[in-house]
Amino acid sequence: MSDVRQVSGFGAEGGLGAESTRLPGEAVFRQVVPAGEYWINSVKRDQVLRIVDTEGNQSADTLLFNAADISDRYSAVDTIRAQRNVYLSCGSRLLSTGGNVLAQIVADTVGRHDTLGGACAAESNTVRYALDKRSMHSCRDSWLLAVAQHDHLGLNKRDLSHNINFFMNVPVTPQGGLSFADGLSGPGHYVELQAAMDIIVLISNCPQLNNPCNAYNPTPLEVLIWNPDVR
């Protein structure tokens, strides 16, 4: 499991608790993302992005864009329809609205991640919790700030769509129920994406203070990037 291609192949057959052998010391990029902040960066084809849930039960609200064509972006519905499963896990191919593979999950110590629940917003907080929660910080506010501060990318609100919630657990029942359950993640758990093309990754480290999923305690994430020829 010493190079990316092997890891990628193993990912396709992998399942729960598929660990990576990449060493943090060999990463070409490493950054802590505090709760309530965003991270936006390009990830080149074949590079591997690791997102670490440093203290557990955090949510990394993640959007992906085809760097060469921002209208071609991550599509939750196309992804789950193509894999015929609503949960993301090791081996999941993350598809775009144009039906292209943007990235694949090549390592995952959690076992399943949500892509149904979307991102919190000031406006949806008023509905979910109370009308006076309107002024509380949210993922979509972080995303809006990210695209405004990086307007050279050409992204705006219309591009802030249906995302992935890495480390979130949103079980669905055969009867059509949906709930927000305690996370399967924990301190130090991580997920790795290998880019299938040059992509732009936008992550909001969720600031939500109203949801028991994170024990009302949002905590930092860490992101690392490895080049494909790491060894």
Partner 1 sequence: MTNGGAGTYETSVEGGKHWSFIMRSGMQLRMIDSRGGANVGMLFFNPQNPLERYNAPDTLKCQHTFKLTKGHCLYSDMGRIFCSIVEDSVGWHDTVCGTTTRRLVAERWGERSYQEYRNEWTQNGHDAFLVEGGKYGLGRRDLAANVNWFSKAWVADDGALIFDANNSAAGQFVDLRFEMDSLVLLHTCPHPLNSAGQYPRNPVLLQFSKAQPVQNDDFCLNSRPENARGFANTELYRFGNTGDGR
Query: Is residue 80 part of the contact set for partner 1 (CB under 8 A)?
Result: yes
Of 68, 152, 173, 229, the one binding partner 1 (CB under 8 A) is 173
Query: Is residue 181 part of the contact set for partner 1 (CB under 8 A)?
Result: no
Report angle CA 85, 206, 130 to the nearest 5 degrees: 100
Count of residues for the chain? 231
d(CA 181, CA 168): 8
Question: Binding segment for partner 1 among 17-25, 125-133, 183-191, 217-225 (CB under 8 A)?
Answer: 125-133
Report angle CA 42, 87, 80 to the nearest 5 degrees: 75
Residue type for position 175 = Q
Applying the rule CB under 8 A, the residues between 46 and 75 that interact with partner 1 are 70-73, 75
Tokens matching residue 134? 């309107």
Query: Is residue 148 part of the contact set for partner 1 (CB under 8 A)?
Result: no
Of 81, 148, 187, 231, the one binding partner 1 (CB under 8 A) is 81
Do the beta carbons of residue 96 and residue 66 sit within 8 Å?
yes
- Using CB under 8 A as the criterion, which residues of the chain lie in contact with partner 1 when the complex forms? 70-73, 75-78, 80-81, 84-87, 97, 99, 112, 116-119, 121-128, 130-131, 140, 157-159, 161-162, 170, 172-174, 176-180
